[in-house]
């Protein structure tokens, strides 16, 4: 191998190890902190395979850059090495930190489940701070942008071989769908009124944000995951890339729904017509075809998060995707819990 090739390989390795850890949202915001903390935990999770065992119990990464001035800080110890010193003894502790994970205060305890660590946060006045709860043995992440006093979003890290393939993208997206998005007990935020199949106004942005956090956490040191990637065809919802070999996939997200919205974001009583959902999905195909050309992508995905009251493909959209060589994926979002759905199925 030539010196030039060696240098290029080194540069690619450094880029893959670092670019994917940079938060897209403003890092001093709660959302930016969730991205930073999830990225860090994704890297920790990939390190985990080197340890025979890790400390059990939940831990919490809590965003409070002014914590040292609080009276509760007296019960915590300052951790001088945290962000760059990965440890198998992560579990069983609350970590309160700044947005860059540099200044960290720790309180150890026995937190056998998420409820135990939530009680600790409530007792310490941290219930409204942006938080990521993490179970280090199972890889369970619970994201709380508005604090643990509000509904949490659950996702789970898993085994990943690092290859950018259609199969691996499917595996990661299916994992997110099954662990987080499928039923309202794990993702209540997306419904404005779930009994009537009415989603919130900005459901697409929420799905995009969760997919971005999940894919980034799972693919640390392997893929570059970029949100709203600017190119001459517009802004790609999500682009996935590897540097060695150089490969890019592009993803466009659309939500299928049953109701219109007015300017305030509230649904109108008029149903969203089937032909309108069809046109919306087709606009996603148009977009992702443009992104595929602009970014010389090897694969293009249309991700349809289906919040309608009918669980069925739009045949013309599926047919067009097959014709245009676009990966068509539809994820049906149930408005009832898994238990409710099973009960209805048993009666029918």
pLDDT value at 215 more than 70: yes
pLDDT value at 264 more than 60: yes
- Token pair belonging to 171: 């595996």
pLDDT value at 341 more than 50: yes
* Higher pLDDT pick, 69 / 169: 169
pLDDT of residue 338: 65
Are the C-beta atoms of 225 and 238 separated by less than 8 Å?
yes
For 292, the 3-state DSSP assignment is helix
The vertex-152 CA angle with 150 and 190, nearest 5°, equals 90
For range 270-290, the mean pLDDT: 95
Are the C-beta atoms of 20 and 221 separated by less than 8 Å?
yes
Give which of 157, 156, 128 is closest to 144, Cα–Cα.
128
pLDDT of residue 14: 42
pLDDT of residue 346: 61
For 199, the 3-state DSSP assignment is strand
Which segment, 3-7, 12-16, 343-347, is predicted with the most confidence on average?
Answer: 343-347
**CB < 8 Å & 24+ apart, contacts of 181-184:** 181/207, 181/210, 181/305, 181/331, 181/333, 182/331, 182/332, 182/333, 182/334, 182/338, 183/334, 183/336, 183/337, 183/338, 183/341, 184/334, 184/335, 184/336, 184/337
CA distance 72 to 124: 6
For 83, the 3-state DSSP assignment is coil
Q: Give all domains of the chain, ordered by start, each with its CATH number.
A: 1-158 (3.40.1700), 161-348 (3.40.91)
% of the chain residues with pLDDT over 90: 50
CA distance 158 to 341: 27
pLDDT of residue 342: 61
- Give the single-character DSSP code of 72: G
* Higher pLDDT pick, 34 / 161: 34
For range 250-254, the mean pLDDT: 98
Where residue 327 falls among pLDDT bands split at 50, 70, 90? Answer: very high
CA distance 60 to 85: 17
Helix ranges (DSSP H) in 180-273: 203-218
pLDDT value at 7 more than 80: no
Report pLDDT digits (tens) over 60-81.
999 999 998 888 889 999 999 9
- Give the single-character DSSP code of 91: S
Measured torsion, CA atoms of residues 174, 178, 182, 183, in degrees rounded to the nearest 10: -170
């Amino acid at each position: 191998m030539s010196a030039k090739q060696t240098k290029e390989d080194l540069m690619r390795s450094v880029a893959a190890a670092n670019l994917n850890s940079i938060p897209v949202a403003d890092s001093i915001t709660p959302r930016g902190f969730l991205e930073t903390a999830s990225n860090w935990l994704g890297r920790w999770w990939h390190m985990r395979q080197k340890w025979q065992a890790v400390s059990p119990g939940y831990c919490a990464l809590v965003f409070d850059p002014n914590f040292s001035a609080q009276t509760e800080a007296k019960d915590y110890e300052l951790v001088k090495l945290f962000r760059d010193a990965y440890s198998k003894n992560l579990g069983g502790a609350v970590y309160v930190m700044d947005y860059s994970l540099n200044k960290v205060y720790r309180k150890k305890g026995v937190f056998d489940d998420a409820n135990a660590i939530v009680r600790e946060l409530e007792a310490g006045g941290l219930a409204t701070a942006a938080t990521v709860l993490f179970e280090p043995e199972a890889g369970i992440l619970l994201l709380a942008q508005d604090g643990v006093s509000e509904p949490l979003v659950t996702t789970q890290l898993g085994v990943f071989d690092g290859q950018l393939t259609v199969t691996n993208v499917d595996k990661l997206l299916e994992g997110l769908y099954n662990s987080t998005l499928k039923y309202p007990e794990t993702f209540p935020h997306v419904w404005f009124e779930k009994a009537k199949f009415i989603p919130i106004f900005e459901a697409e942005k929420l799905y995009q944000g969760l997919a971005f956090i999940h894919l980034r956490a799972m693919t640390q040191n392997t893929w570059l995951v970029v949100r709203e990637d600017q190119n001459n065809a517009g802004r790609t919802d999500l682009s996935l890339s590897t540097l060695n070999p150089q490969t890019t996939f592009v993803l466009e997200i659309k939500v299928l729904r049953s109701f219109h919205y007015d300017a305030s974001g509230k649904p109108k009583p008029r149903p969203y017509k089937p032909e309108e959902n069809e046109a919306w999905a087709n606009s996603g195909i148009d977009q992702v075809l443009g992104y595929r050309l602009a970014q010389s992508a090897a694969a293009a995905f249309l991700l349809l998060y289906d919040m309608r009251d009918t669980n069925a493909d739009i045949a013309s959209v599926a047919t067009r995707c097959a014709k245009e060589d676009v990966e068509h994926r539809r994820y049906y979002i149930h408005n009832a819990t898994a238990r409710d759905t099973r009960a209805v199925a048993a009666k029918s």
